[in-house]
Amino acid sequence: MEALGSQGVPTQYIKILGELYKNFTTEISTFYNSTNIDVKRGVRQSDTISPKLFTATLQNVMRTLGWDNMGVKTDGQQIHHLRFAEDIVLITPEISQAEHMLADFDKACGKIGFRLNLKKMMFMRNGLVSLAPFTLNEMSISECSSYIYLGREINTMSDLAYSLACQTYCAKTTDSMLRVLHESPRRKMWYSTSP
């Protein structure tokens, strides 16, 4: 709720949300036994406000990080990360800076009960970055040469071939589907003007 206040959400709305989440329990039923569990933190699954609360909390975490001089300068601005919901890309000129930023982020997340999933974490480097291991809390982060971010392949070669192939396939498939609909007998029945 603190995150909402720091982002300018009116106090009366914060109080209402606080009441909704106060004394929140969940029930687990196994066969004929059921157990009530008090939920101390987190958001309600499938609640429409949950993604917004998560994003507000993550934004609050990002504001606390001193990354003003980190990242890569692009068009006169320092770019140190891209973020869409829980998907975050750190952008740095060297692995040591990425390790420092990731450790800061992990520590800030830990303070509010968030945990980074190291199994889903990867790093990618271009030819300008020297070969070096990338670790967080002495655990190695695996390297990849390409990955899909927001439905688009990103790779070290700036190669759009995969993306273009997917778009071409989708266009051809859509064209085929439209052709089938256009030529279907049912369509002719729907639009026929004769009795």
149 shares its domain with 121: yes
Extended strands (E) in the chain? 25-30, 33-38, 72-74, 77-79, 81-84, 87-90, 122-123, 135-136, 139-140, 142-143, 146-149, 152-155
Is pTM, for the whole model, over 0.75? no
100 shares its domain with 78: yes
111 shares its domain with 167: no
pLDDT one-digit tens code per residue, 55-79: 888 888 888 888 888 888 888 888 8
176 shares its domain with 95: no
Query: Residue 54 and residue 42: Cα distance in Å, rounded?
Result: 9
108 shares its domain with 150: yes
- pLDDT above 90 covers what percent of the chain? 0
Residue 120 lies in domain: 65-158
Burial per residue of 93-113, b for 16 or more beta-carbon CB atoms within 10 angstroms, e otherwise = eebebbbebbeebeebeeeee
**What average pLDDT is seen over the chain?**
74
109 shares its domain with 124: yes
Asked if pLDDT for residue 33 goes beyond 60, the answer is: yes
Q: Is residue 57 part of a domain?
A: no
Q: Is residue 105 part of a domain?
A: yes
**What domain count does the chain have?**
3
pLDDT one-digit tens code per residue, 151-187: 777 777 655 555 556 666 666 665 555 555 555 555 4
